[in-house]
Amino acid sequence: ETGVTQSPTHLIKTRGQQVTLRCSSQSGHNTVSWYQQALGQGPQFIFQYYREEENGRGNFPPRFSGLQFPNYSSELNVNALELDDSALYLCASSSTANYGYTFGSGTRLTVV
């Protein structure tokens, strides 16, 4: 059973640029969620995708968007990057059959 994999592991971007982060869900999981974890904080829910549609969103602006593909992998896109977007971005997959979550190791985004 494969876990959740995220790419890249680290990324440095300039303010105003756009970034795409990728996540491969655990086998058998049909739901994927994204979280932002600022330094010294707990993760904050960005949004969730189920069957390729967003079905839940946290308090994040529209410049945070995502996609889920038929194989349940996912992308997180952030436009017009701001310095405060610097954080660890975690992807978690889950199954509607249970309430467990499997997290990836995250992408560390630094905006300069």
- Contacts with other proteins by CB under 8 A lie at 31, 33, 35, 40-45, 48, 55-56, 58, 88, 90, 92, 94, 99-101, 103-106, 108
Residue 42 C-alpha from the chain's centroid: 15
- Reduce the DSSP state of residue 101 to 3 states and report it: strand
CB nearer to other proteins: give 17 or 54.
54
- Reduce the DSSP state of residue 8 to 3 states and report it: coil
CB nearer to other proteins: give 40 or 62.
40
CB nearer to other proteins: give 10 or 14.
10
Minimum CB separation from other proteins for residue 16, in Å? 27
Residue 59 C-alpha from the chain's centroid: 14
Phi and psi angles of residue 85, each rounded to the nearest 5 degrees, phi first: -80, -10
Tokens of 61: 């602006």
Minimum CB separation from other proteins for residue 20, in Å? 19
